Each structure stands twice: as structure tokens, then as C-alpha cells.
Amino acid sequence: MHSTPTWVFGYGSIIWKVDFEVTESLVGYIDGFVRRFYQGSTDHRGTPEKPGRVVTLLPSTRSDEKVWGVAYRIPDEKTQETLAHLDYREKGGFTRSTTIFYPRDSRREPFRIIVYVAVEGNINYLGPAPLDEMARTIAFTRGPSGPNIDYLMNLCDSMRKIAPGVIDEHLNTLEEAVKVAISEKRIDENPHRESC
């Protein structure tokens, strides 16, 4: 009996930290969502006392919005093991859902895919905040998996590589705001430094 392939969509750390076996990967997008740094991370990029910020998906309000990322096909014999691993990895407020993935390669048909989403109101949901506040959190928070800034920069770098020319305004704006926050902190720490 032929089984339906299991695919998982990476739109955050799964793009650049694939810690599970895959048989195939495809760049593409999903419709009907936006990617936002609205989810708190208390177990990876922050702590319960000082949560970091990681991405989740929210329903989009515009019909033209897409979230680009990578689809990973899980080996049939590893499906349950891999999903159990991902359930644990994404345990901080994320739940498993499905949607339709559209491959960048137009020769490939769209297909159903698993996606982990931290819905609004979950235990670690932080929601929107002023840009400078989000930038400072990301710039200066760290957790067991490392600095929060590494998460953002790895994601931005990965998106530029997999989807050149695709603009994700939220990511780009946050990246620039984090650079400003770090620059301002350096100036505050060296107030007597002479300017050129």
C-alpha cells in the first residue's frame, strides 16, 4: 500500500537547524499567513525570567501575503520518530497543524504539509510590541540554545540564500533595528569615545 509522504514546513529555526533526517527539501511558500517575532522563547533563546523572541505564523489580512521557507520530506520509516522529536523541540507553545505548500519549482504540484504554529494566547505568546523594544529583547537576550540575536541573524541570512529577491519586511526591519540597538549600547558603554 502506497503511503502519503510526510512533509514539514520550516519558516524559522528549522530552515537553518535541521536536526532530523530528510529525503528531499524544496523551497517554496505557504499562503494566508505572515511570519512574526511574537512568540516568547523560555527554553531555547531565552529563560522564563527573560523570554527571547522567535517567529510564529499569524493569519494574514491581505490576500497577497506569503511566507517563504523550506519543505522537508521525512523518510517514511522515520515519520513517527521525527514528529515526536519535533513535537518536543517545538513544545514551548507550538502546536501541529497542516496547510498547503507551493513549491518554487512550478513543475511540482502544491501539496499538504505539517507546520508548527504558536497560536495567539498560548502560554508563551508575547504578541506585538514597539519595534525598539522587540529589537532590544532580541539583541540582548540569551537562553540554553544561545543568544536570541543568532536566531534572527541565521534566519535572515538563510532567507537571503534560499529566496533571493523575496522581501520579508518584518524580518528586514527587525534586523536593522537590532543592529541599531547594538550600536547604541556600544556608544552608551563608551560615552567618552571620540567620534571620527
pLDDT in tens, 122-150: 999 999 999 999 999 999 999 999 999 99
In the structure, what pLDDT confidence band is assigned to residue 63 with cuts at 50, 70 and 90? confident
Q: Kindly state whether residue 33 falls inside one of the protein's structural domains.
A: yes
Q: Kindly state whether residue 192 falls inside one of the protein's structural domains.
A: no
Rounded Cα distance, 59 and 137, in Å: 24
Rounded Cα distance, 117 and 95, in Å: 5
Rounded Cα distance, 188 and 190, in Å: 5
Nearest to 8 by CA among 105, 81, 66: 81
Q: What residues make up the domain containing 154?
A: 6-184
Q: Kindly state whether residue 153 falls inside one of the protein's structural domains.
A: yes
- pLDDT tens digits for range 75-102: 999 999 999 999 999 888 899 999 999 9
Q: What is the pLDDT of residue 62?
A: 83
Q: What is the pLDDT of residue 191?
A: 53
- Tell me the CATH number at 107: 3.10.490.10
Q: Kindly state whether residue 1 falls inside one of the protein's structural domains.
A: no
Beta-carbon-side half-sphere exposure of residue 77 (alpha carbons within 13 Å): 0
Q: Kindly state whether residue 196 falls inside one of the protein's structural domains.
A: no
- Cβ proximity of 124 and 51 under 8 Å: yes
Considering its fold, how many domains does the chain have in total? 1
Residues that are catalytic: 90
In the predicted model, what is the mean pLDDT of residues 186-195?
Answer: 55
Q: Kindly state whether residue 26 falls inside one of the protein's structural domains.
A: yes
Name the residue with cell 531555547.
44
- Cβ proximity of 66 and 103 under 8 Å: no
Q: Kindly state whether residue 96 falls inside one of the protein's structural domains.
A: yes
Rounded Cα distance, 159 and 69, in Å: 7
Q: Kindly state whether residue 195 falls inside one of the protein's structural domains.
A: no
Does residue 32 come out as left (phi exceeding 0), alpha (psi in the -120 to 50 range) or beta? Answer: left
State the pTM of this model. Answer: 0.89
Q: What is the pLDDT of residue 189?
A: 61
Find all residues with CB under 8 Å of 153, minimum gap 6, and list them. Answer: 175
